[in-house]
Amino acid sequence: MPQTHHRVVIAVFPDVDLLDVTGPAEVFALADRESGGRAGYEVRLAGPGPAGEAVATSAGVRLVTDLAMADVGAVDTLLVPGAVDPGPEGPRARIDDGLVEWIKATAPHARRVASVCVGAHLLAAAGMLDGRRATTHWSTAAQLAADHPRVDVDADPIFIRSGRVWTGAGISACLDLALALVAEDHGEDLALAVARQLVVYLKRPGGQSQFSVPISRPASSRRDLDELRRYIGEHLDEDLSAAALAARMCLSERHFSRVFAQETGATPAGYVEAARVEAARRLLETTDRPLEHVARACGLRSVETLHRAFRRQINTTPAAYRRRFRTT
């Protein structure tokens, strides 16, 4: 491996997520160690204040900056982590106008730019994700899509590359993202060696949807549709075809399907399958019931149908999901 130099600058600021910063830094440090120093990563923490300033993270642990953001200079890889504020409906990504302006000024001079977790909201605010496909933590994906309609938000992938801009998913996915950056720089053999030292997958099976709690859709403008959604959740093992649901609402199947999609953002078949997969997930997590029983209890009828639905909805298999998330 030829000697190279990669100057990695990670932005740090008050309440930044600790692992978003230290996770990638550890990956790059291990890449240097595993390559005998030839990987050439130099990691620097840049903060809003002077060099040497201690910045408190969301975990309460303080990080000491190497340089001020105003003095960053040349950058090979710019990493932008994020911070969240709690809210009644869940966490919301924090947007700092000064940080956004710094990203606008610094990113054009970097070879590549990557966001970690909710740092994607900062890149989007800086206009760097317009027209690009991007990901973020599943819990703030709806916020990202609503705030930035020109961004193609995909809440499932662990990371996404769009040209020289990378976006990473939630929290521990910072390791997956950093490993992918190492693989781009030095090949998969070195990235695999680092992954082994971290005792993680080089390429994690499945996506974020395996870990996320399905986001409840808000109440619709029609009380009869809200009642129907409750009915679906309580009768998953019954006939929930579009025809049966339309008849229950005394509508033609065509009109019902159009209204349902307008109000929920999903087709009747897609909504029902998602509800059945969610019920199956809970059974796989909390019981030892055979897959045949799980499939029947959730209205998916057969193990084959259960497998297909899991592949479509969360990109894994029922058995793999149970191994990972079994709780009792």
Q: What's the token pair of residue 130?
A: 């317009």
Nearest to 45, CA basis, from 22, 76, 19: 22
The alpha carbon of 96 is separated from its chain's Cα centroid by a whole number of angstroms, namely 21
Which residue in 117, 174, 250, 298 is the catalytic one?
117
Q: Annotated catalytic, 117? A: yes
Taking the C-alpha atoms of residue 38 and residue 49, their distance in angstroms, rounded to an integer, is 32
The alpha carbon of 116 is separated from its chain's Cα centroid by a whole number of angstroms, namely 9
Q: Identify any residues that bridge with 112 across adjacent strands, giving them in sequence order.
A: 77
Taking the C-alpha atoms of residue 79 and residue 41, their distance in angstroms, rounded to an integer, is 13
187-203 per-residue burial string, b: 16 or more CB within 10 A, e: under 16? eeebbbbbbeebeeebe
Q: What is the DSSP code (8-state) at residue 216?
A: P
Q: Identify any residues that bridge with 115 across adjacent strands, giving them in sequence order.
A: 80, 167
Q: What is the DSSP code (8-state) at residue 251?
A: S
Nearest to 171, CA basis, from 266, 93, 78: 93
Nearest to 96, CA basis, from 22, 21, 16, 9: 16
State the sign of the Cα–Cα–Cα–Cα dihedral 301, 307, 310, 312. Answer: negative
Q: Which residues are catalytically annotated?
A: 117
